[in-house]
Chains A and B, each alone.
Chain A
């Protein structure tokens, strides 16, 4: 098969309408696995977090975790879904070594949550905002599989491997799968909508406290379906399912790349194959996985080891009452409280700094100060070290303390940056860093006056100008004093003292 030419994106979306759909797997942050009491934790020596049930030993039986069901209902409610009054788990049958029972307990035609929506906002290239309502088809529960490690061979896949090792620690960890309805009519914005959806979904899940939603660790996994059809066509094109999309940026890139590729295929008179594709982070393109010539027959049937799931309405309503303020409402509230423009808010969101700023404000800083430090100095540090802002070794409370020290005049901005250095280097709280690094502003006029007099003596021409009323020239002397005190002086006080001496 020849590699089709990619059609440049603007041209592709000029002639084709993209339709996308997203299937997101979320690992729930429950204490135990979905059907047994084993701890649902990452890592650990292989096969230590297991029991007869999650190993699928003969005779073992699943018993559903109430917490996992509650989390799934929470997600459904937050996504405006209907919660089924009666539904069932189903068995999805297929043989694979990392599936302890050679079937997965999932849900098939009776999902727990159906028919919801999530609003997302995207900005087009002209800076105009568009709100898109993404329909949610279903939210259902299932158990995770074990993890295979294929040793030897070139691909790291099972074919060609010398041998394989299986770790069942992950087997039985609760997953929720969230499936969107087809998202149509977004045109050139489709890749941005896909990214905005996953971002918003992640924020909703995080606010619910049901998952740690880390894409890079796999606790949030996303498959992206993409199809295109000639502009104005009533018939949807054949979709591909792209896997291995492991970051928000990749979601956007994968959709964009698929649109370019599919346009190339259609332009060349070909047909898009119904297939699974793999996204490659390094090259930004997708390659063919397995062709779904005949759809695999999973022989789904209702799981006979479990009774139907019929969440009582009072329970559902009780869960609804415990829902936290959702991210979109919270953003609107904070924007108003902090007096932010849309642009300011967008900057905070893009930097993933809303929670950090909010926590810093809670710790006593003004919204302006909190924003200044997180978006300024700290963002720069994060960027330099390629870490996430939230992963920096500093807490909102520590940032608030630094802001307070600056506000009281005990630190100036330059000293404050050194305090941040100290905190990030693990030297302790801001007050300890100030003490051990001896960073307090020199506020003793006696000490300052000596420096002021030395500066005047060293710069007679400047002193003369000031005496002649050219007060602006005082900056040069202030700078000299600051240099002499290695930045520890309060610049405003220095200026006052200079003007008094020469006034």
Chain B
């Protein structure tokens, strides 16, 4: 077969595999080769599990040859964010404190992927403990945006987004606590979904902020994201916050791909000041496109969204200060100062001092302070009230519109190092994505073009009510189809700027 298998979508690969036009082994080897070629530049992966991937692929080929009925993802490669546990690969959460830790158990999502026959290629880079918007907080060095290697791929699931955008994997799993799937998807020109909170199991997901963390898919098409989502979603008895309701039928919705008669609400508070002009221009075009497809566009106001960022930076650090307490050198991971001269307490302190990066420490301190007796009501308590108000804003808005839209991020991908010393500027990258984490509803990002001023991807955020994830997929798929028709090709085919991975490859 002459086609480059890495250029196919997951849905196409699934069809080819099913028709036995290609083997899982060939597909897997093609992606491993691509990783070997491209990942030196992109650094999407922290760990590539070539042997396990090829063994899993051989197993799928054997089963298919034996006539076994296999699911749609059987033989399709997938990359896992290094925050999900895997028994056969290290799991570090991008932190030195877990360097080399190999968990004794699989995350529920890992297990479901194996059961679906998906081929796990390896573990992707991320901001340490998923805290960041650029992967620059990874203890193992940043990933690079395939559109411009000098720029960040977003974060915290930047490795997953970069792997998909660089054709190193057709699918990747990420996690989204304040935008950590949608923002990297947006700046890498791919699709990323934060499902309804509780729709995907968190068992085996190393926690950052338990009440916000949501695993979800990243892919090059909306349908691919839906295929991955259906393989990993559904109630998990190992996660008390997993919702018992049946998972929304997102694959059917992605195939339906129409917006006729749907009411689309543009959120006033999520555009305007602070947004890059090119981002706003592409967003405006996307809204017009949806209108031209038969959607009814209205403007809705969510007045409390302006407090979302502040509330988030109290709730998330508070939870993280508690969640990350367990990294104390007693049971696993890094241990510093165990030389017979230090007490257990000192070993804990020395290990945490050496093992955590600056951003993690910053958030642990913020959270410890916010939860302290005497400050709790003013900070954590107040932030929870804001959270309720934001959920009510959503409720009211969804009374007026079936889905809400906004730009996914205020800007396109920024340069590596540009915001490293300015946490506030970094935090602003999640301005538009945070409200859906606080309220727990579904939201995704789908490419809507390149910003004219820098030729970098812009994402359209589509938000749907809790458990109505399928509605967001339906609208996203419609937009994707219309855009692809207008552009004459998928957005990623444009990734040929002077600093891009494609340019580098062409010049080789």
Contact with B along A311-355 (1 / 0, CB 8 A): 000000000000000000000000000000000000000000000
B384 nearest in chain A by CB position: A302
**How far, in Å, is B82 (CB) from chain A's closest CB?**
11
A102-B107 CB under 8 A given contacts A58-B98, A63-B238? no
* Stretch of A49-57, A71-79, A373-381 lying at the B interface: A49-57
> Given the complex, which residues of A lie within 8 Å of B348, measured CB to CB?
95
Asked if B424 is at the interface (CB within 8 A of a chain A CB), the reply is no
Number of A interface residues in the complex (CB < 8 A): 31
Q: Are A299 and B210 in contact (CB under 8 A)?
A: no
* Stretch of B292-300, B370-378, B406-414 lying at the A interface: B370-378
> Given the complex, which residues of B lie within 8 Å of A310, measured CB to CB?
none
**How far, in Å, is B376 (CB) from chain A's closest CB?**
7
A101-B326 CB under 8 A given contacts A57-B332, A61-B240, A301-B371? yes
Q: Are A59 and B205 in contact (CB under 8 A)?
A: yes
A304-B328 CB under 8 A given contacts A93-B371, A95-B348? no
Q: Which of B336-357 contact A (CB under 8 A)?
A: 343-345, 348
Asked if B104 is at the interface (CB within 8 A of a chain A CB), the reply is yes
A56-B207 CB under 8 A given contacts A62-B240, A304-B319? no
Q: Are B203 and A59 in contact (CB under 8 A)?
A: yes
- Output the residue of A55, A100, A297, A306 with the most chain B CB within 10 A: A297
Among B85, B98, B239, B332, which residue has its beta carbon within 8 angstroms of that of A63?
Answer: B239
- Output the residue of B93, B237, B328 with the most chain A CB within 10 A: B328
A89 nearest in chain B by CB position: B240
**How far, in Å, is A61 (CB) from chain B's closest CB?**
5
> Given the complex, which residues of B lie within 8 Å of A59, measured CB to CB?
83-85, 91, 103, 105, 107, 203-207
Asked if A97 is at the interface (CB within 8 A of a chain B CB), the reply is yes
**How far, in Å, is A163 (CB) from chain B's closest CB?**
9
**How far, in Å, is B153 (CB) from chain A's closest CB?**
24
Asked if A119 is at the interface (CB within 8 A of a chain B CB), the reply is no
Among B103, B325, B371, B380, which residue has its beta carbon within 8 angstroms of that of A95?
Answer: B325
B101 nearest in chain A by CB position: A58
Among A52, A102, A103, which residue has its beta carbon within 8 angstroms of that of B104?
Answer: A52
> Given the complex, which residues of A lie within 8 Å of B103, measured CB to CB?
52, 57-59
Contact with B along A177-213 (1 / 0, CB 8 A): 0000000000000000000000000000000000000
Asked if B284 is at the interface (CB within 8 A of a chain A CB), the reply is no
Q: Are B239 and A61 in contact (CB under 8 A)?
A: yes
> Given the complex, which residues of B lie within 8 Å of A473, measured CB to CB?
none
Q: Are A61 and B322 in contact (CB under 8 A)?
A: no
**How far, in Å, is A294 (CB) from chain B's closest CB?**
10
- Output the residue of A101, A102, A300 with the most chain B CB within 10 A: A102
Q: Are B91 and A58 in contact (CB under 8 A)?
A: yes
Q: Are B211 and A304 in contact (CB under 8 A)?
A: yes
Q: How far is the CA of A305 from the CA of B104 in the complex (A)?
A: 21
> Given the complex, which residues of A lie within 8 Å of B204, measured CB to CB?
59-60
Asked if B368 is at the interface (CB within 8 A of a chain A CB), the reply is yes
Q: Are B84 and A64 in contact (CB under 8 A)?
A: no
A100-B371 CB under 8 A given contacts A60-B203, A63-B240? no
Q: Are A58 and B203 in contact (CB under 8 A)?
A: no
Asked if B330 is at the interface (CB within 8 A of a chain A CB), the reply is yes
Q: Are A306 and B241 in contact (CB under 8 A)?
A: yes
Q: Which of B148-174 contact A (CB under 8 A)?
A: none
Asked if A166 is at the interface (CB within 8 A of a chain B CB), the reply is yes
A168 nearest in chain B by CB position: B331
Q: Are A301 and B322 in contact (CB under 8 A)?
A: yes
Number of B interface residues in the complex (CB < 8 A): 46
Q: Are B328 and A55 in contact (CB under 8 A)?
A: no
Q: Are B241 and A307 in contact (CB under 8 A)?
A: yes
Q: How far is the CA of A93 from the CA of B322 in the complex (A)?
A: 7
> Given the complex, which residues of B lie within 8 Å of A93, measured CB to CB?
321-322, 325, 371
> Given the complex, which residues of A lie within 8 Å of B107, measured CB to CB?
59
Asked if A164 is at the interface (CB within 8 A of a chain B CB), the reply is yes
> Given the complex, which residues of A lie within 8 Å of B319, measured CB to CB?
301, 304
Q: Which of A85-113 contact B (CB under 8 A)?
A: 91, 93, 95, 97, 100-103
Asked if A149 is at the interface (CB within 8 A of a chain B CB), the reply is no
Q: Are A61 and B203 in contact (CB under 8 A)?
A: yes
Q: How far is the CA of A56 from the CA of B326 in the complex (A)?
A: 7
Q: How far is the CA of A100 from the CA of B327 in the complex (A)?
A: 10
Asked if B202 is at the interface (CB within 8 A of a chain A CB), the reply is yes
**How far, in Å, is A34 (CB) from chain B's closest CB?**
12
> Given the complex, which residues of A lie within 8 Å of B209, measured CB to CB?
304
B318 nearest in chain A by CB position: A301
Q: How far is the CA of A95 from the CA of B325 in the complex (A)?
A: 7
Contact with A along B217-236 (1 / 0, CB 8 A): 00000000000000000000
Q: How far is the CA of A52 from the CA of B111 in the complex (A)?
A: 15
Asked if A158 is at the interface (CB within 8 A of a chain B CB), the reply is yes
Among B206, B240, B322, B343, which residue has its beta carbon within 8 angstroms of that of A64?
Answer: B240
Q: How far is the CA of A299 from the CA of B325 in the complex (A)?
A: 12
**How far, in Å, is A89 (CB) from chain B's closest CB?**
10
Among B91, B93, B372, which residue has its beta carbon within 8 angstroms of that of A299?
Answer: B372
**How far, in Å, is B421 (CB) from chain A's closest CB?**
29
> Given the complex, which residues of A lie within 8 Å of B376, measured CB to CB?
299-301
**How far, in Å, is A147 (CB) from chain B's closest CB?**
14
Q: How far is the CA of A93 from the CA of B105 in the complex (A)?
A: 26
**How far, in Å, is B136 (CB) from chain A's closest CB?**
22
> Given the complex, which residues of A lie within 8 Å of B239, measured CB to CB?
61, 63
**How far, in Å, is B374 (CB) from chain A's closest CB?**
9
Q: Are A57 and B241 in contact (CB under 8 A)?
A: no
Q: Are A100 and B326 in contact (CB under 8 A)?
A: yes
Q: Are B210 and A55 in contact (CB under 8 A)?
A: no
Q: Are A158 and B344 in contact (CB under 8 A)?
A: yes
> Given the complex, which residues of B lie within 8 Å of A56, measured CB to CB?
326, 331
> Given the complex, which residues of B lie within 8 Å of A64, measured CB to CB?
240
**How far, in Å, is A306 (CB) from chain B's closest CB?**
5
A305 nearest in chain B by CB position: B210
Q: How far is the CA of A92 from the CA of B205 in the complex (A)?
A: 22
Q: How far is the CA of A61 from the CA of B239 in the complex (A)?
A: 6
> Given the complex, which residues of A lie within 8 Å of B321, measured CB to CB?
93, 299
Among A61, A159, A299, which residue has its beta carbon within 8 angstroms of that of B202?
Answer: A61
Contact with B along A27-66 (1 / 0, CB 8 A): 0000000000000000000000000100111111111100
Q: How far is the CA of A306 from the CA of B198 in the complex (A)?
A: 11
Contact with A along B371-406 (1 / 0, CB 8 A): 111001000100000000000000000000000000
**How far, in Å, is A59 (CB) from chain B's closest CB?**
4
B371 nearest in chain A by CB position: A299
> Given the complex, which residues of B lie within 8 Å of A62, measured CB to CB?
240
> Given the complex, which residues of A lie within 8 Å of B343, measured CB to CB?
158-159
Q: How far is the CA of A58 from the CA of B210 in the complex (A)?
A: 12
- Output the residue of A58, A60, A62, A166 with the most chain B CB within 10 A: A58
Q: Are B322 and A97 in contact (CB under 8 A)?
A: no
Q: How far is the CA of A101 from the CA of B319 in the complex (A)?
A: 13
Q: How far is the CA of A307 from the CA of B211 in the complex (A)?
A: 10
Q: How far is the CA of A165 from the CA of B189 in the complex (A)?
A: 52
Among B83, B325, B331, which residue has its beta carbon within 8 angstroms of that of A103?
Answer: B325
A101-B325 CB under 8 A given contacts A52-B104, A58-B91, A59-B107? yes
> Given the complex, which residues of A lie within 8 Å of B380, measured CB to CB?
301
Q: How far is the CA of A438 from the CA of B127 in the complex (A)?
A: 84
**How far, in Å, is B106 (CB) from chain A's closest CB?**
10
> Given the complex, which residues of B lie within 8 Å of A103, measured CB to CB?
322, 325
The 7 closest A-B pairs by CB, nearest first: A102-B325, A304-B210, A299-B371, A304-B211, A59-B204, A58-B206, A59-B85
Please list 26 pairs of residues, one from A and one from B, whose beta carbons are closer than 8 Å in the complex, sorted by A's number.
A58-B93, A58-B101, A58-B207, A58-B332, A59-B83, A59-B85, A59-B107, A59-B203, A59-B205, A60-B105, A61-B202, A61-B203, A91-B322, A93-B371, A95-B325, A97-B328, A158-B344, A166-B330, A299-B368, A299-B371, A299-B376, A300-B371, A301-B319, A304-B210, A306-B240, A307-B241
Q: A58-B207, A299-B376 are in contact. List 13 more A-B contacts (CB 8 A).
A: A58-B103, A59-B84, A59-B203, A59-B207, A61-B238, A95-B345, A97-B330, A97-B344, A101-B326, A102-B326, A102-B328, A301-B318, A305-B207
